[in-house]
Structure 1
Amino acid sequence: MPYDSRHKAQRRNPWLVVAVACLGMTMSFLTITATTSALTSIADDLGLGPVELVWTSSAYALALAALVLSSGALGDLAGRRTVFQAGTAVMGLGAVVTATATSPAAVITGEVVLGAGAALVVPNSLALVAGAFTDPRRRASAVGVWAACSGIGLAVGPVVAGALLNAWTWHVVFLVDVAVAVVVLAASPFALPDPRVPGRGVDVPGTALATAAVAGLVVTVVEGGRAGFTAPVPLLAALGTALAAAGFVAVERRSARPVVRFGVFADRRSVAALLVAGVALFSFTGLALLATLQMQRAQGFSPLASGTRLLPLTVAYVVVSSLAAAVVARAGARATLTAGLASTVAGVLVLHGATTGYGREAAGFVLVGAGLGLLIAPTTALVVGGVAPELTGMAGAVVTTVRQVGTALGGSVLGTVVTHRLPAHGGALTPAVHDGLLVAAAVLLLVLLATAVLLRPAATRPAPVTARDTPGGILA
């Protein structure tokens, strides 16, 4: 399915396209960990309870994950720059709502609006970056830059938030998004093309069912941790999740314009990449939440001091992620992802055993950061690099959905473990956080084993997929 003829007429400097698209996307990932770092200040100011704390840390990622699946198709239909700009404007609006919030409900509402905007920004920024290059190698390099920038946004969030919180109130943290949104909106008309893919449409029933399934899953986890999984609300949410997921599969198999073509699951490399992409963001955001709670609540460090103590994680991540593409080229995807998962597991276990002194804690952060640096960028490149340019919008939406489901579950699952285990430890936070770390390690180990199986050597490697190859095939 070709781009429409206006795409060629709108050619821009490809690396300028990458710069502006990545700036908008980096804002959407920086918001995740910046919000986590500001949680303690928000909770103290607005009196957040344990469940409200978990919802505040999860609402952004929940909205992003629930809405992102159709935004790639929307960009193909209405124009990728147009939808990217709309998402940037919505993020700016959500940042204003959050920054001016005076109640827990207002903060959560602002986070939902921010997430809805990010759902429009992230997959379309990826599609713009991938579509800026025709040469496969340069395209792969650009996708790697995009993926690395997403992780850099996650990595610098705690430091940026800590520095701002040291000088001002938590409200100022969200005004950063407003400033970045203004810059991106001003630069987009000059830097970005606005390609469309004729014949695309938005699968409304599929999108609605996917949204319901993702939202129901997070409600099940959060409310189950609060009231027990046999209570009416989590039981009904779990039932609704199962029905929505089953309905989504049934609708997509019959849809003329499905959100996802399930042929993607025939490719073991794509399945492994998506699985690892989800658990990488689960780990990053969940561990950031646990570390923030431990440092600020249990150890009494300020937000700036907490962000500084997380520097070993962020520096290790930035350094290793910049080398990840070369590592994949030399060692292969299987060895790279296995090493990344193993390093992250080891780091989590070191953090679990770090009871006194900062040295062991710093070593754990280095291992986690290095491991995640080998996971986040390569998984995106593996999924998007396996499809033709006209499919990158939808491929980006799929990988972003998986990553943001991981993000939403990282905060909600591990946060719920901590709040659920607090009574068992007499209200002591540190042992409850350590229980959360054990859950994270168990999840990572399971994914490590699954990835080793999925990426075992095969006799032949499948060719890249195009839209023409698969009427019910990989991604649409």
Structure 2
Amino acid sequence: MTVTQTTAGAAAVPPPHPRRWAGLAVLSASLLLVVMDMTVLNVALPEISADLRPDSVGLLWMVDVYALVVSGLLVTVANLGDRWGRKRMLLTGFAIFGLASAGVLLVDSTGQVIALRALLGVGGAMIMPSTLSMIRNLFTDPRERATALGVWATMAALGGALGPILGGALLERFSWHSAFLVNVPVMIVAIIAGLVLLPESRNPKPGRWDALGTALSVVGMVTLVYAIKHFGKDGFDDTGALVAAAVAVVTLGWFVRRCLRRRDPILEIRLFRRPAFSAGVLAALTVSIAMAATMLLMAQWMQLVQGYSPLETGLRLLPEAVGAAIASPLAPALAARIGARLVLAGGLAVTGVGYLVIFFWPEPLTYLAVAVSLGLVGVGLGSLAIASAVIMAGAPPEKSGSAAAIEETSYELGGALGVAVLGSVAAAVYRSDLSTEELAAEGVSGPPAHAVRESLGGAMDVAREAGAAGAELAARAQTAFTESLQWAGLAGGALLIATATAVWLMTPRDLDVSSGHD
């Protein structure tokens, strides 16, 4: 069996594009910026909240709307890119992202920030799958494609690490508007470079547009991500989340059935029949689940327990980026030498061990333990380069949009699941160490007790208002939060070790992404 399906008499593989490496530079730089922007805005949200004073609902929508829009549009824009032209879709995404970022100059209310974040989500949904599908079509040689996807994975990891550094540096000198405006000149350069360097590609036989399938995918994905987020925040008795989950089950079930019955579906679900493809998607999903929650908790731990500034926190998160920058480009060559199966499963296992370090490190937990953990996680992320190679190689060029949409959707779902599931584990541990009865015995009850148990930030605010008497409360809350981080590390590590085992069993023994055969 081959990773790229071939038949006797099939057309020869087209020659490589002469400007493919320059094109990769454009695609990688655009991905770097989009990933950085997501983390920059997370750093900027406290400043935005302090300036605009949103209510709890407004703040929730400022945080959630980007992910809801991206997850809802990924399948649609990937399919549109296959039809309309992947280069056109990418450049349109650049333009929307840049215009939305410039629009911050006109923003002066919570509703306008929410609208701006939604528009950024539209641009991001156009950019992210387009970069992957264009790499699939630019690099016809499987060995070169694996290397290119290693670079792509490196940029994704670097973006996640550099975003907090850039955000911290900007916020120390400028207002929160700078977190948006920094995108504008970069997008202008990206549009010009893309026009010059990137070739156009599309599905030569796209078939009829499936309007019903499009509607089902948008409604299903938005309601699914909404339900996951609100189950994690409000529990399983939240009525809105239950309704959203029911809608998601019905619409996505209908969507999958429709895709399986159509000859040319909007999303090629049949790709999951390939064990290697499914293993790659599972790897991407699980890593995203673990990272979404633990990285958020680590950033809070560094700022609220260790006392680092946002910029110092960003710098102290760099070991992960360094590990990923070393491992991701080397992963394809290593896979060619020892086997893609071992690199894919082994990378997941190393990432899992990285998270387990946080739990098993001798007390007290120090930054040294976190740095070791981050370094191992970064090295393990090299497996995602192989996961991307397996996913993209498993689809024919005309279906590269479907493969890209599936991979990007796995990251979006993983992020939502990570915060909801592992975040709930951490919250449960944190609250168990700060019971209502114990707080009442110390004179903290009512709304202040609720704030203490809701978050470490709330606990620190209550402690500051209590003056000298709040020092013990602050210390208790910090200890409880540290323990919650450790247990989240245990849960994330165990999940990754289990996934590594599953991926090892699912992946063909002779999988070779550098030659195109499994």
TM-score in same-fold range (> 0.5): yes
Residue 315 of structure 1 deviates from its aligned partner by 1.6
Match of 2:95 among 76, 89, 94: 89
Deviations 1:240-297 (A, max 9, x none): 1211221112221223431233322222211111011112223333323222222234
Partner of 1:72: 78
Partner of 1:329: 336
Question: Which ranges of structure 1 fall in alignment gaps of 5 or more residues?
Answer: 2-7, 465-476
Identity %: 32
The structure-2 alpha-carbon separation of the partners of 1:25 and 1:459, relative to structure 1 and needing over 3 Å to count, comes to closer
Match of 1:442 among 491, 494, 498: 491
Counting matched residue pairs gives 457
* 1:286 matched to 2:304: no
CA contact (8 A) 1:290 1:414 kept: no
Instruction: Measure, in 2, the Cα distance between the counterparts of 1:203 and 1:286.
Output: 36
Partner of 2:179: 173
Residue 459 of structure 1 deviates from its aligned partner by 7.7
* 1:42 matched to 2:78: no
Aligned residue runs from structure 1 range 120-135, under 5 A? 120-135=126-141
The structure-2 alpha-carbon separation of the partners of 1:346 and 1:107, relative to structure 1 and needing over 3 Å to count, comes to farther
Match of 2:376 among 367, 380, 387: 367
* 1:357 matched to 2:406: no
Residue 223 of structure 1 deviates from its aligned partner by 2.4
Instruction: Measure, in 2, the Cα distance between the counterparts of 1:439 and 1:97.
Output: 38
CA contact (8 A) 1:130 1:139 kept: yes
Instruction: Measure, in 2, the Cα distance between the counterparts of 1:195 and 1:250.
Output: 29
CA contact (8 A) 1:70 1:259 kept: yes
Partner of 1:119: 125
Instruction: Measure, in 1, the Cα distance between the counterparts of 2:131 and 2:507.
Output: 33
CA contact (8 A) 2:352 2:496 kept: no
Match of 1:262 among 255, 269, 272: 269
Instruction: Measure, in 2, the Cα distance between the counterparts of 1:185 and 1:70.
Output: 22
Partner of 1:469: none
Deviations 1:338-389 (A, max 9, x none): 33222222322333457443222222222222222x2322211111122333
Deviations 1:42-96 (A, max 9, x none): 3443446777666544432332222111222211211111111111111123323
Residue 19 of structure 1 deviates from its aligned partner by 1.4
CA contact (8 A) 1:97 1:107 kept: no
Aligned residue runs from structure 1 range 192-207, under 5 A? 192-200=198-206, 201-207=208-214
Aligned residue runs from structure 1 range 445-456, under 5 A? 445-456=494-505
Aligned residue runs from structure 1 range 221-300, under 5 A? 221-300=228-307
The structure number with the bigger radius of gyration is: 2
Deviations 1:143-173 (A, max 9, x none): 3322322222222212221222222222212
Instruction: Measure, in 2, the Cα distance between the counterparts of 1:264 and 1:386.
Output: 7
Partner of 1:471: none
CA contact (8 A) 1:148 1:321 kept: yes
- TM-score normalised by structure 2 residue count: 0.79
Instruction: Measure, in 1, the Cα distance between the counterparts of 2:65 and 2:378.
Output: 25
Match of 2:142 among 136, 142, 151: 136
Residue 433 of structure 1 deviates from its aligned partner by 6.3
* 1:210 matched to 2:217: yes
Match of 1:110 among 109, 116, 123: 116
CA contact (8 A) 2:335 2:512 kept: no
Secondary structure in structure 1 of the residue aligned to 2:125 = helix
- TM-score normalised by structure 1 residue count: 0.85
Deviations 1:291-333 (A, max 9, x none): 2222234443221111111122222222222322222222323
CA contact (8 A) 1:345 1:444 kept: yes
CA contact (8 A) 1:95 1:178 kept: yes
Partner of 2:311: 304
CA contact (8 A) 1:347 1:365 kept: yes
Secondary structure in structure 2 of the residue aligned to 1:455 = helix
Instruction: Measure, in 2, the Cα distance between the counterparts of 1:369 and 1:101.
Output: 37
Partner of 1:342: 349
Partner of 2:414: 406
